Amino acid sequence: MKKMKCIHPRKAFNLMQQFIDNANNLEYTYSFSPILNPYDDISDWKFGDEIEETCQIKVRLKKGDCFCAEGIDSLEEVEDDTLTIKYNFDELWDISAKIFRAYWTEKSPMLKGFSDITISILHELGHLETTEKIRPNFSIQQREELLEALENKYIDYKELNYAYFEIPDEKLATEWAIEWLSNADNRKIAKTFEKKFFSCFAEI
């Protein structure tokens, strides 16, 4: 696809947010604040029932390398019920995006039918969705050591990226995206998003 310029950034932003909201399965549990009266006995204090809601995930513009998940590290505890996926439209035409696409479409040909924006968003959402699965078996220190080893081993940019895609948390995030797109209803959601999203762009 030729590089394009976003001519309706606010609309594109809103469409990304809607797509993430549709794909987001994350949930958190909280309790309503207690109803306290200092003159009551503590045994009379009332607490709200536990409520499960979908975790909020926001999108935010970022200069430089993107897309990326923020507000939660795949290997750390969630401290807030609002998470962020940063984006930079220029990254959709970056060489690393092309390498990512080539690698994963070979493993899952179904991805050829979807744009880089869809795959990128779902991959970053996959990081957030798979935190509980990856955290017990793969620490931040292990990730850093593995990244350092890869950088020392590979000089070729493509080979380095291919090895990076196989890092446990990176691989799991993409596998989550592939699984999400394996559902026919989800594919319709993705296609509707893409059609509206690219109407916000014009060829340069």
Q: What is the pLDDT of residue 95?
A: 86
Percent of all residues in the chain with a pLDDT value above 70, rounded to a whole number: 71
Confidence of residue 90 (pLDDT cuts 50, 70, 90): confident
Domain residue ranges in the chain: 4-203
State how far the Cα of 173 lies from the Cα of 124, in Å rounded to an integer: 7
- Predicted TM-score (pTM) of the model is 0.77
Nearest to 85 by CA among 62, 113, 102: 62
Whether residue 171 is predicted with pLDDT greater than 70 in this model: the reply is yes
Segment 173-186, tens digit of pLDDT = 999 999 999 999 99
Whether residue 49 is predicted with pLDDT greater than 50 in this model: the reply is no
Mean pLDDT (the chain) is: 78
Whether residue 121 is predicted with pLDDT greater than 60 in this model: the reply is yes
Amino acid at the residue 13: F
Residue 97 contacts residue 91 (beta carbons within 8 Å): yes
Residue 32 contacts residue 48 (beta carbons within 8 Å): yes
Q: Which string of DSSP letters, residue by residue, matches the chain? A: ---EEES-HHHHHHHHHHHHHHH---EEEEEPPPB--TTS-GGG-B-PPEEEEEPEEEEEE-SSS--EEESS-TTS----SEEEEEE-GGGGGSHHHHHHHHHHHHH-GGGGGS-HHHHHHHHHHHHHHTHHHHGGG--HHHHHHHHHHHHHH--SHHHHHHHHHTSHHHHHHHHHHHHHHTSHHHHHHHHHHHHHHHTTEEE-
Nearest to 174 by CA among 162, 158, 160: 162
Among 3-7, 9-13, 145-149, top mean pLDDT goes to: 145-149
Q: What is the pLDDT of residue 96?
A: 86
Whether residue 29 is predicted with pLDDT greater than 60 in this model: the reply is no
Q: What is the pLDDT of residue 73?
A: 45
